[in-house]
Amino acid sequence: MSNKTQKNKHIPKEIQKRIEELRKEINYHNYRYYVLDDPVISDEEYDALMRELKRLEEQYPELITPDSPTQRVGAPPAEGFLPVEHSVPMLSLDDAFSEQEVKDFDERIKRQLNLNEDIEYTVEPKMDGLAVELVYEKGIFVKGSTRGDGYVGEDVTPNLRTIRSIPLRLIDQELPIPELIEARGEVFMNKKGFEELNKERIEKGEPPFANPRNAAAGSLRQLDPSITASRPLDIFFYGIGLVKGYEFKSQWEILNSLKKWGLKINGLIKKVKGIEAAIKYHHEIAKIRDNLDYQIDGIVIKVNDLKLQELLGQKARSPRWAIAYKFAAEKAITRIVDILLSVGRTGAVTPVAVMEPVRVGGVIVRRATLHNEDEIRRKDIRIGDWVIIQRAGDVIPEVVKVLKERRTGNEKEFKMPDTCPVCGSKLTKKPGEAVWRCPNPDCFPRLVRSIIHFASKGAMNIEGLGSKVAEQLVTAGLVRKVSDIYKLQLSDLTSLERFAEKSAKNLLDEIEKSKNRPLSKLIYALGIRHVGEVTAQLLARHFGSLDALSKASEQELLKIEGIGPEVATSIKKWFSDPKNIELIKELKELGVKSAQSPKEIKTKTHELFQGEFFNNKETQEYQKISLEGKSFLFTGALKSMTRQEAKDIVIELGGRVASSVSKKLDYLVVGEKPGSKLEKAKKLGIKIINEQEFLKMIGKEELLK
C-alpha cells in the first residue's frame, strides 16, 4: 500500500468520491464555457460547485492535487525564468504580403511534391500574441514555456496555470489521451480586457501598454503569478510538438483532437481545397477583422496532410509547408520635418525620416526608415513632404507614398553626404549595393551598437549593459572593442556618472556570468553579417568551437543545410580579417568560453561514452570515430536508442543531422515502420542503412545483440 493511500485511508470514501465528482464537473463546465463558449449552468451554480470543492479541500488538504481547479494561483513569486529546451523547434513562419507571393508558395509546394492537383490546406487567423508550448503527461499539465528563440524558451508554468481557458487536466471525451503531448498555442489579451487594464494603469499612475500583444507578453512574463492571474489572458491552440502514444494524419485532425481534449482552438479555422480558396478566406477574414474581440495581423496557411509536410521539410528558420499571409499594414498621413542619418552596427548609414508624431496601429510614430539613397530617389521623398506611412508587418514604420499634390515649393531635396556624419570617414559603397557604409570600426555609434548587440539577450545576455551604459563606456574610452568589456574593473565603473558601487558590482557579476554562455550565443554576439541566431546555432552544432569555425572553407560552410553562398562568403570574410582573429584570441584569454559543451544525454546507451566510463579503452576507441562531413537522417523507430539520442551521437562525432531528404543527404538510417522518407531516398539514390549498420559505424554493434 502506498504512503498516499495509507494517508488517505482515514478519509471517508464518500468525501474522496465527492471531491473527484466536483473536479470532473467543474472541468467539464470550464470546457463548456471557455472552449465551446456554450455554458449549461449559471455563474451562481458554477460558483457554488467551486465553493464546495474549496471547502472540502480545506478540510482535507491531503487530497489537494496540482491539477485541481482550485490550484490555478498559489505559486510564490519567482526569482527568474529558467530555460526550457523545446523537443521540436518552434519555428517561425515566412511572411507573404500579396496574392502573388501566396500563389508562388503554392507553386513551390506543387513543384517540390511533383503534384498538379489542388493542395488541401488548413487556414486560420494569425493571432497577434505570444507563442507558448504546454506539456501534458498522461493528461496532466506539467510544464509550460514561451517560444523564446525557437529552440529554448522560458519556463512560465505557474503563470500559464492562472489562465482559465487552459485545462490543468485534459478531457477524455471521445479520444484516448496521449501519454505525452506538447500543445502549442498563442496567448493573447482581448481588446476589451486590454482597454480596461490600461484604464486601471492610468488611474494608478502607471504607464499604459502600447497594444494588446505587449500587454499579453508583459502579463505572462510576470515573476509573480498572482499578477498574471489578475490580467485578462486567453489562448488559442494551433498545433503540437512532440507526441507519444497517439498518431495524427492531418493538421485538421490535430486541431479537432485538441478541441476534444479540452484545448481551445479558434472557431474561424477552416479546411480548404486549393490556394484560391485560401486567398478567398484571407479576404473574408480581413472584412471582419475589426469586429473581432482580439487582434490578428493576417492568416496562416498550412498544408493539411502531415505526410506531405514531412516530405516538404523545413528551412533553418521556417517550415516549407506553411506561410503567414499578412494583412495590408495600417496607414497614416504625416509630414517629414527632417532627414537624419543613422550609423548601424555594420557601418551601414541609413537615412531616417523625422516626422510630426502620428498614431499608426495603436503606436505613436515619430521616425521611419527611408532604407537608402536609391529608395529616396525612387519615391522622390523631400524634407517638408506630406507622406503616407505604414508599419510594415505592423511593426517597422516606413514611408509608402509622397503626397506630391500637397507640395508648396518649400520642400528640400535630400543629398547623401560623402562622409560619415559622426566620425568624418569617407563613406564607401560596393558595386551592386545600395547601402553606403562607414568603414571606420571605431566610429562611435558603430562601436556602441556593436556593444549593445554583444550584450543583448539573444547574444551574451549581459543584464545592465544597455544603450546608455554602452555610450558611457565608449565616451570614457573604457571600451574600444567588445573584448574590453571583460577588462573592466570596479574602479572603472564607479568613476562613471550614476554608477554606485552596488550597481557596478552587479554589472561585473553579469559580465563574469556571460563568459559561460553557449557557443551559439557567442557566434551571434560577434555581429558577423548575415549570421542571425538560427544560423549561429547551426554553426555551433556543426563546428563545436570558434577555432574550427574560423578555419572552415566556404565549401565546408555550404554543406550545412540552411547556409547559402552569401552567408558563407560573409562568414569567411569575417574570419579572414586579422582584427577579428585577434579579437577571438583576446576573448579566449579573458576566459570567454569558445567551444561547445558536450550535451548531457541521460541514457544508458550514452553512458558508454560519458561519465565514469570516459577514460576506459572502449571510450578511447569511440573518441577516434569521426562522422565529420557526413549527414544523416533517421526514419522509423530504433531499438537500441531513441532517435534524439542517435542524432546527438551523430553531432558529437562531427556529423550533421538533416531535417529532410535531399540530394545532399549521405545516409538515411531506417528503423522499424519507416515513413515516406524511405521512398523519397530510394528515388534520389541516397545510401540507405539499417540500425545495425549505423551502430557498426559508431562502433556499437553489440547494442542490438
**311 and 376 fall within a common domain:** no
Write the pLDDT tens digit of every residue in 663-677.
Answer: 888 999 998 878 778
**320 and 366 fall within a common domain:** no
Q: Is the pLDDT of residue 227 over 90?
A: no
14 within 8 A of 44, measured Cβ to Cβ: no
Give dist(CA 507, CA 674) in Å, integer.
52
- 116 burial level (CB within 10 Å; 0-12, 13-18, 19+): exposed
Q: Which amino acid belongs to residue 698?
A: I
* Residue 36, pLDDT score: 65
* Residue 614, pLDDT score: 32
Pairing relationship of beta strands 322-326 and 296-303 according to DSSP bridges: antiparallel
Q: Is the pLDDT of residue 388 over 80?
A: yes
- 705 burial level (CB within 10 Å; 0-12, 13-18, 19+): exposed
> The domain that contains 306 carries what CATH number?
3.30.470.30
Mean pLDDT to the nearest integer, 462-480: 86
Please tell me the least confidently modeled range out of 119-123, 160-164, 584-588, 699-703.
699-703
347, 366, 332: which is closest to 423 by C-alpha? 347
Give dist(CA 479, CA 472) in Å, integer.
9
635 within 8 A of 669, measured Cβ to Cβ: yes
Q: Which amino acid belongs to residue 342?
A: S
Task: Give the rounded distance of the alpha carbon of 346 from its chain centre.
Answer: 24
Residue 174 — very low, low, confident or very high, per pLDDT cuts 50/70/90? confident
| pLDDT cut 70: percent of the chain above it | 88
Give dist(CA 134, CA 243) in Å, integer.
12
Write the pLDDT tens digit of every residue in 492-535.
Answer: 888 777 788 888 999 999 999 999 998 989 999 999 988 887 68
Mean pLDDT to the nearest integer, 434-459: 87
* Residue 648, pLDDT score: 67
638, 633, 623, 629: which is closest to 681 by C-alpha? 633
> The domain that contains 36 carries what CATH number?
1.10.287.610
* Residue 630, pLDDT score: 85
Residue 685 in domain: yes
Q: Is the pLDDT of residue 415 over 50?
A: yes
Give kind and range of the element (H or E) at residue 348: strand 348-360
Residue 596 in domain: no
> The domain that contains 338 carries what CATH number?
2.40.50.140
Q: Domains in the chain: how many in total? A: 6
Mean pLDDT to the nearest integer, 217-236: 88
Half-sphere exposure of 222 (CA within 13 A, CB side): 23
Write the pLDDT tens digit of every residue in 313-372.
Answer: 988 678 999 999 988 767 789 999 999 888 876 788 888 899 998 887 666 788 888 888
365 within 8 A of 330, measured Cβ to Cβ: no
Residue 611 — very low, low, confident or very high, per pLDDT cuts 50/70/90? very low
Give dist(CA 58, CA 60) in Å, integer.
6
Residue 429 in domain: no
* Residue 658, pLDDT score: 78
**348 and 313 fall within a common domain:** no
* Residue 1, pLDDT score: 43
Q: Is the pLDDT of residue 636 over 90?
A: no
* Residue 200, pLDDT score: 81
Pairing relationship of beta strands 396-402 and 386-392 according to DSSP bridges: antiparallel
Mean pLDDT to the nearest integer, 220-247: 91
Quote the domain boundaries for residue 581: 519-589
Residue 474 in domain: yes
428 within 8 A of 439, measured Cβ to Cβ: yes
Q: Which amino acid belongs to residue 260?
A: K
Residue 448 in domain: yes
* Residue 564, pLDDT score: 82
* Residue 601, pLDDT score: 31
**506 and 525 fall within a common domain:** no
Residue 358 in domain: yes
Q: Does 38 or 401 have the greater pLDDT score? A: 401
Most trustworthy range by pLDDT among 58-72, 290-304, 493-507: 290-304
**131 and 241 fall within a common domain:** yes
Q: Is the pLDDT of residue 118 over 90?
A: yes
| pLDDT cut 90: percent of the chain above it | 41
Q: Which amino acid belongs to residue 272?
A: V
DSSP 199-236: HHHHHTTPPPPSSHHHHHHHHHT-SSHHHHHTS-EEEE
Q: Which amino acid belongs to residue 41?
A: I
**47 and 168 fall within a common domain:** no
* Residue 612, pLDDT score: 32
Within 10 A of 507 (CB to CB), how many other CB atoms are there? 21
Give dist(CA 622, CA 624) in Å, integer.
5
Q: Does 105 or 637 have the greater pLDDT score? A: 105
Catalytic residue, candidates 126, 326, 677, 700: 126
Residue 271 — very low, low, confident or very high, per pLDDT cuts 50/70/90? very high
483, 125, 422: which is closest to 290 by C-alpha? 125
Q: Which of 38, 71, 104 lies at the terminal end of a domain, its last residue?
A: 71
**181 and 52 fall within a common domain:** no
Q: Which of 281, 301, 326 lies at the terminal end of a domain, its last residue?
A: 326
User: Three-state secondary structure along 582-620?
Assistant: HHHHHHHHCCCCCECCCCCCCCHHHHCCCHHHCCCHHHH
93 within 8 A of 239, measured Cβ to Cβ: no
211 within 8 A of 246, measured Cβ to Cβ: no
Give dist(CA 31, CA 264) in Å, integer.
8
What percentage of the chain's residues is helix, strand, coil (to nearest 5)? 40, 20, 40
Here the cell at position 346 is 555594420
Give dist(CA 491, CA 482) in Å, integer.
19
**311 and 229 fall within a common domain:** yes
Give the gyration radius of the chain's Cα atoms.
28
Residue 602 — very low, low, confident or very high, per pLDDT cuts 50/70/90? very low
Q: Is the pLDDT of residue 623 over 60?
A: no
Q: Is the pLDDT of residue 441 over 50?
A: yes
Q: Which of 326, 356, 378 lies at the terminal end of a domain, its last residue?
A: 326
* Residue 307, pLDDT score: 95
Residue 599 in domain: no
> The domain that contains 556 carries what CATH number?
1.10.150.20
Residue 486 in domain: yes
**508 and 529 fall within a common domain:** no
> The domain that contains 700 carries what CATH number?
3.40.50.10190
Here the cell at position 532 is 542571425
**399 and 523 fall within a common domain:** no
263 within 8 A of 185, measured Cβ to Cβ: yes
**610 and 574 fall within a common domain:** no
* Residue 396, pLDDT score: 62
* Residue 472, pLDDT score: 86
Pairing relationship of beta strands 120-127 and 270-273 according to DSSP bridges: antiparallel
pTM over 0.75: no
**234 and 375 fall within a common domain:** no
Is 401 among the catalytic positions? no
Backbone φ/ψ region at 40: left (φ over 0), alpha (ψ -120 to 50), beta: alpha
Q: Is the pLDDT of residue 132 over 90?
A: yes
213 within 8 A of 295, measured Cβ to Cβ: yes
Residue 142 — very low, low, confident or very high, per pLDDT cuts 50/70/90? very high
